[in-house]
Amino acid sequence: MADENPAVRRLSDWEPEPLRDIADEYGTPLYVQDVGRVRENAVRLREAFPDADIAYAVKANTTHAVLSALERAGIAAECASAGEVQRSLDAGFPPERIRYTAVNPPDVDLDHVCALDGVDELTITVGARDTLDRVAERGFDGPLCVRVNPGVGAGHHAKVSTGAEPKFGVPYDRAADLCRKAADRGFDLVGVHAHAGSGISGEDLSAHRELVARMGELTREIADLDPEFVAVGGGFGVPYRESEEPLDLTRVAAATREAIGETDARLAIEPGRYFVADAGVLLTTVNTVKPTPETTVVGIDAGMTTLLRPAMYDAYHAVRSLEPDLPRKDPVSCELSGPVCETADVLGRDRTLPDPTRGDLLAIGNAGAYGYEMASTYNSRPRPAVVSLDGTLVSLSVERERLSNLTALERSAGDSDGSAVDGERDADGGTNQW
């Protein structure tokens, strides 16, 4: 099993010839997602946490192929928006295997979720007393979970460390009181939830352990309410640099079980990137090679609108050339620059590549999580296509946007079809996005 299901899939493990064939057929920039690898990662998580309730943090990658593969693998869905709930339902997740964990949800989101068929089986997680009141006003009486701010955070970047950020969850010292108020109001309190952050590694396992210990204490404090589960988030990291070791998932699982202590509530985890990051690559084509005194600027057709993580988080993604004549090329230090008019539009600095030539095909690794999900149309650039791999089967998951798509929703001042620019208004004056 170890050889068939390694702890991490490196960019060098991808066979170049099939990727070249895919790029020839579908063009670039192009995301390629291997759903077989997604299933392998699900198996590894299940083996490390055999008794846990495992949910996938849908925001990492919402493509239908990924969602349907994880649904068939028996994984639950943890959703941060009404849109993610709807995508999960469309992919086959039954309501009882969906947790809606929204942060400051807009009214239109709550309206949609609370009106769904089977909503009485879907778990809604609230992170504020206001949110509790708002779901009550909509007549929701299904399973309820309370999100807790444990006062401790972890993660690969300050922008994804959620555990100590006041935006997320009820302050720890008020959580038990809100749980009791919810139960007194007739809600079916099924659990409590906290999330330290994203990209947790062995280096910050102590913060994860502290969060889990606090959640264990809270669960024992409200044991009389008989919570079914205690969710300690996910955020398990993957090694983006080739020199980094993969996460010791067995060690993380053991530390989690030890830290939570004795409780009748079932442990729940909600990884996102761990399922999908190393299952995806981004293919891009060199269009400009510009030697400068500082470096060789390699212009590519993917940029920060295609893959935002380097500009947003200073994230590192491995890069390799997929050209077949590499042995004949000398190594060159490069800066990989995209086509967006921003200084931040650089996907990699000080990278060594075989002497690049216009038309070369490059692959960018660990692009399966928060890649296509964070793509945008800034600079009026259409978003890329997504292709799914399942063994030898290659299929188009998401079509490439075209320039005509960018203006499809726009209305000019002379239009008289009665619709507002930002969508039709409902009877209460709100925007109905559904």
418 marked ligand binding residue: no
The average pLDDT across 205-224 equals 91
- pLDDT class of 416 with cuts at 50, 70, 90: low
Query: Quick one: pLDDT at residue 88?
Result: 98
370 marked ligand binding residue: yes
Query: Quick one: pLDDT at residue 166?
Result: 79
> For residue 379, what is the domain's CATH number?
2.40.37.10
Per-residue pLDDT reduced to its tens digit, 289-328: 999 999 999 999 999 999 999 999 999 999 999 999 777 7
The average pLDDT across 59-80 equals 98
Count the Cβ atoms, other than its own, within 10 Å of residue 313: 17
Burial of 38 (0-12, 13-18, 19+ CB in 10 A): buried
Query: Quick one: pLDDT at residue 44?
Result: 96
Per the annotation, the verdict on 179 as an active-site residue is no
Whether residues 347 and 286 fall in one domain: yes
Whether residues 387 and 293 fall in one domain: yes
Q: Rounded to an integer, what distance in angstroms lies between the CA atom of residue 10 and that of residue 8?
A: 6
Count the Cβ atoms, other than its own, within 10 Å of residue 315: 17
The average pLDDT across 250-273 equals 94
Whether residues 294 and 345 fall in one domain: yes
Whether residues 342 and 367 fall in one domain: yes
Find out whether 61 and 372 touch, Cβ atoms under 8 Å.
Answer: yes
Q: What values do phi and psi take at 258, rounded to 5?
A: -70, -40
Q: Which amino acid is at 369?
A: A
Whether residues 364 and 316 fall in one domain: yes
- pLDDT class of 87 with cuts at 50, 70, 90: very high
- pLDDT class of 422 with cuts at 50, 70, 90: very low
Q: Rounded to an integer, what distance in angstroms lies between the CA atom of residue 415 and that of residue 315?
A: 44
Query: Quick one: pLDDT at residue 313?
Result: 94
Last residue of a domain, one of 269, 293, 322: 269
Alpha helices in 11-150 (DSSP H): 16-26, 35-48, 64-72, 82-90, 107-114, 129-137
Q: Is residue 34 assigned to a domain?
A: no
Catalytic pick from 79, 145, 179, 341? 341
Q: What is the dihedral of CA 327, 331, 337, 339, to 10 degrees?
A: -40
Query: Quick one: pLDDT at residue 431?
Result: 59
Q: Rounded to an integer, what distance in angstroms lies between the CA atom of residue 363 and that of residue 22?
A: 12
Q: Which amino acid is at 327?
A: P
Whether residues 171 and 235 fall in one domain: yes
Per-residue pLDDT reduced to its tens digit, 325-380: 777 789 999 999 999 999 999 999 999 999 999 999 999 999 999 999 999 999 99
The average pLDDT across 24-46 equals 98
pTM: 0.92
Whether residues 119 and 172 fall in one domain: yes
Q: Which amino acid is at 245?
A: E
Whether residues 206 and 286 fall in one domain: no
> For residue 229, what is the domain's CATH number?
3.20.20.10
The average pLDDT across 277-297 equals 97
Query: Quick one: pLDDT at residue 326?
Result: 74
Q: What values do phi and psi take at 424, rounded to 5?
A: -65, 145
Q: How far apart are the first and last CA of the chain?
A: 45
313 marked ligand binding residue: yes
The domain containing residue 285 runs over which residues?
Answer: 278-402
Find out whether 321 and 356 touch, Cβ atoms under 8 Å.
Answer: yes
Q: Provide, rounded to the nearest whole percent, the portion of the chain with pLDDT above 90.
A: 82
368 marked ligand binding residue: no
342 marked ligand binding residue: yes
Task: Tally the domains of the chain.
Answer: 2
Bridge partner residues of 291 (DSSP): 296
Whether residues 257 and 124 fall in one domain: yes
